[in-house]
Amino acid sequence: MPVLDNIRIVLVSPLYGGNVGAVCRAMANMGFGELAIAAPRPLDQGEGRMMACHAAPLFANRREFPDVRAAVADCIAVIGTSARGGLYRQHARTLRDWAPETLALAGRGRVALVFGPEDNGLSNEDLALCTQLIQIPTTPEYTSLNLAQAVMVCCYELFTACDCFEGREEKSPEATSELRERMFEIWRRTLLTIGFMEEEKADHMMLGLRRALSRGPLSVDDVKILMGIARQSEWAARHAGGD
């Protein structure tokens, strides 16, 4: 997504290389490509590469800046994340609320999404640089997310808000009523042949089978499998009896 290319993930003084690697993997899963580290501390590079997995190039290409101010200098919007409350954090909103506006901003200029260190989150000084503040929904009992998990939730929200994900599509179309009725006719014949029901109870029994097979949509392939079973069952019953 070209619009996601305009969103920079900024990690402030992360402590653990493994977390930074996991951030890279989450970013790559969700189509983000630009990682900045502000006020870097020494990181375990091996852990970072390992947790980045196939996103190791993203880990290798991370850019380092002396502080948050420098890391976001060219951004038209600076979105901070905060699990803590407090007087100047009350206006935080969720990213699901903010996602459409964030994508619109990213269409006009570069946008930074800023995450504080694992131990303390964003300082008030870094917060002051933020034009927007977001909070990730959690239970009140445990509001502090793992850094990479927090990045994942944010990237996931923005990626899904792009509406660019194409889910799997079943190649087999949904069965029409005509095809389903053909299947039920075959089953009716089979159930009579194998002695599961008698003619006078057939309509009633078939309602039960119809209900069981109509709990969800059936594809043409589903119906073909169910028809095949009925046919084979009838065939086997006739032949077992020395038909």
Give residues in contact with its own copies (CB under 8 A). 18, 22, 25-26, 28-31, 51, 53-55, 85, 89-94, 96, 135-139, 141-146, 148-149, 152-153, 156, 159-160, 165, 167-172, 219
Q: Shortest Cβ distance from residue 160 to its own copies (Å)?
A: 5
Q: Are strands 34-38 and 7-12 parallel, antiparallel or unpaired?
A: parallel
Nearer to its own copies, 161 or 179 (CB): 161
Angle at 24 (CA atoms; ends 60, 56), nearest 5 degrees: 40
Comparison of 16 and 184: residue with beta carbon closer to its own copies: 16
Smallest gap from residue 47 Cβ to its own copies (A)? 10
Taking the complex as a whole, the smallest distance from the CB of residue 48 to its own copies amounts, in Å, to 13
Task: Report helix, strand or coil for 87.
Answer: helix
- Identity of the residue, 229 or 237, whose beta carbon is nearer to its own copies in the bound complex: 229
Beta bridge mates, 65: 38
Task: Of 145, 64, 77, give the one whose Cα is nearest residue 106.
Answer: 77
**Which SS3 state, helix, strand or coil, does residue 80 take?**
strand
User: 141 or 200: whose CB is closer to its own copies?
Assistant: 141
How many Cβ atoms are within 10 Å of 92's Cβ, its own excluded? 21
Q: Quick one: 29 or 233, whose CB is closer to its own copies?
A: 29
CB 98 within 8 A of CB 79: yes
**Of 73, 156, 68, which is closest to residue 114 (Cα–Cα)?**
68
Q: Residue 1 CB, nearest distance to its own copies (Å)?
A: 8
Distances (CA, A) of 113 to 5, 37, 58, 117, 224: 12, 12, 16, 13, 51
- Distance of closest approach, residue 172 Cβ to its own copies, in angstroms: 8
| Smallest separation, CB 3 to its own copies (Å) | 13
Closest CA to 206 of 216, 196, 194: 196
- Supply 51's token pair: 């947790």
94 or 176: whose CB is closer to its own copies? Answer: 94
- 130 phi and psi angles, rounded to 5 deg: -85, 135
Query: Rounded to the nearest whole angstrom, what is the least distance from the CB of residue 9 to its own copies in the complex?
Result: 14
Nearer to its own copies, 12 or 218 (CB): 218
